[in-house]
Amino acid sequence: MRTHDFVAIGVGPFNLGLAALTADLPDVDGVFLEQRAEFNWHPGLMIEGVTIQVPFMADLVTMADPTNRFSFLNYLKQVGRLYPFYIRESFYPLRAEYNEYCKWVAGQLSSIRWNTRVDTVTHDGEAYLVHTANETYRARKLVLGIGTAPRVPAVVDQGEFVHSADYLHTKGKLQRLDSITVIGSGQSAAEIYLDLLNEIDAYGYHLSWITRSPRYFPMEYTKLTLEMTSPEYIRYHHGLPMEVRDRLGREQRNLYKGISGDLVDTIYDTLYAKSLHGEVPTTLLTGTELEGVIWDEAEKRYTLALHHTEQGRSFTASTQGLILSTGYAPRVPSFLDPVRDRINWDARGRFDVAVDYTVDVNGGEVFVQNAEEHTHSLTAPDLGMGPYRNSVILKGITGREVYRVEESIAFQQFGAPKADIPKALVKS
């Protein structure tokens, strides 16, 4: 049986980037397994006109290899869109455009096996065996990039709710209802709210947007804050105690889970324009938690149990449509069960991810992509940090620095200086 250097499981943007970065390396043998028939990135959120939240340089390869043939700029050149993109004068590609770019890359890579679902992973004492329905792949190393799963609050366990991941697939049905409520505070919630608000006059539904956050906060995008997407911050954050990292993860939501400022303003301007002709049938509530739901099957209607956290008041609201824009959560795939003893786990049952993105007990065997937010902070889901992580992973796979791995890029220092405070400055 052929032994590959690595098998990568899952083909989202991050493993697709790894496939692109290894495509022209003759001495690196990797194979990528994906259960879907083709690449398609968040198809339920391809709302017309929306952009990704990072500049075009945060493509699959550029931050690792600016000369790579799979760059976004080369894609634009090859499909005849480079000059229109230049004239547009925006760093931010359309989300649908980014998806088409990824499909363009995927279509040129022979290392990807589509329609290939992994059933289980075992180890034969020397290498990993990745078992699928039709074939077994043997590799010295694994790269796990299965992505995250839609998060649904535990209190929502009945009825015909929709997660934001499926929004466009259910939009027509939702718009035939008399009321729609969006739960959530991030970019997806805002995009869905605006999309439904734009068409509210044509359908006549009441549209609500409820979030437990104290405000509809914009994503912080200042330059010194962006330095937190850096090798230095990764090392600093990784070195903190688990309890501190988890607390920071909650506190740093507005750094990467907020709404783009332009979108917040567009929502307000849309409400303002529509209010010229009378009251807009919409409700916006902040600081409000969803504590429970009751689904009336006969009426096809939800009663939402809500609690305003600042006032300490509980109340209810009625809605026919319920959209949960409640984000995504990492998952541990069951196919790893036979090799669980080869993997490091933290006290909360999560991957205990080393600073080099490995999770195995021996080190250097099993790597993860976007499953390390609890150890590597906001850099885990960041598209712009994908090429950096892949450069580190490739170094671990090959034993050499295939693409330069930056060690220091920030002007600021994270953490206290190592030098001791002079005794003369310490008050007794």
Q: Is the pLDDT of residue 146 over 70?
A: yes
Q: What is the pLDDT of residues 206-261, one digit of tens each?
A: 999 999 999 998 888 889 999 999 999 999 999 999 999 999 988 887 777 789 99
User: 314's torsion region: left (phi>0), alpha (psi -120 to 50) or beta?
Assistant: beta
Q: What is the pLDDT of residues 271-313, one digit of tens each?
A: 999 999 999 999 999 999 999 999 999 999 999 999 999 999 9
Q: Kindly state the helix (H) or strand (E) to which residue 376 belongs, with its residue range.
A: helix 373-376
Q: How far apart are CA 261 and CA 44, in angstroms?
A: 23
| β pairing state of 328-329 and 3-9 | unpaired
Q: Do residues 215 and 170 both lie within one domain?
A: yes
Give the SS3 label for residue 114: coil
Q: Do residues 62 and 169 both lie within one domain?
A: no
Q: Is the pLDDT of residue 1 over 80?
A: yes
Q: Is the pLDDT of residue 93 over 90?
A: yes
Domain that holds residue 301: 162-219+257-324
DSSP for 236-292 reads HHHTS-HHHHHHHHHHTHHHHSSB-HHHHHHHHHHHHHHHTTS--SEEEE-SEEEEE
Domain presence at residue 303: yes
Mean pLDDT of 62-85: 98
- Maximum pairwise Cα distance, the chain: 77
Q: What is the pLDDT of residues 378-404, one digit of tens each?
A: 999 999 999 999 999 999 999 999 999
Q: What is the pLDDT of residues 345-366, one digit of tens each?
A: 999 999 999 999 999 999 999 9
Q: Do residues 286 and 354 both lie within one domain?
A: no
- Rounded to 5 degrees, what are φ and ψ at 287? 60, 30
Q: Do residues 261 and 363 both lie within one domain?
A: no
Domain presence at residue 266: yes
Token pair for residue 229? 């997407």
Q: Which burial class, exposed, middle or buried, applies to 292 when counting CB atoms under 10 A from its CB (0-12, 13-18, 19+)?
A: middle
Q: Do residues 192 and 307 both lie within one domain?
A: yes
Q: Do residues 188 and 94 both lie within one domain?
A: no
**How much of the chain is in helix, strand and coil states, percent to nearest 5?**
35, 20, 45
What pLDDT is stored for residue 258 in this prediction? Answer: 85
Interaxial angle between packed helices 167-174 and 187-198, expressed in degrees from 0 to 180 and rounded to the nearest 10: 30
Nearest to 10 by CA among 143, 148, 149, 146: 146
Q: What is the pLDDT of residues 167-190, one digit of tens each?
A: 999 999 999 999 999 999 899 999
- Write down which residue in 305, 324, 343 finishes a domain: 324
Q: What is the pTM of this model?
A: 0.94
Partners of 138 in the beta sheet?
Answer: 3, 129
Place of tokens 């549209």: 207
Give the SS3 label for residue 166: helix
Contact (Cβ atoms closer than 8 angstroms) between residue 33 and residue 114: no
What pLDDT is stored for residue 421 in this prediction? Answer: 65
Q: Do residues 173 and 98 both lie within one domain?
A: no
Q: CATH number for the domain including 263? A: 3.50.50.60
- Write down which residue in 291, 324, 357 finishes a domain: 324
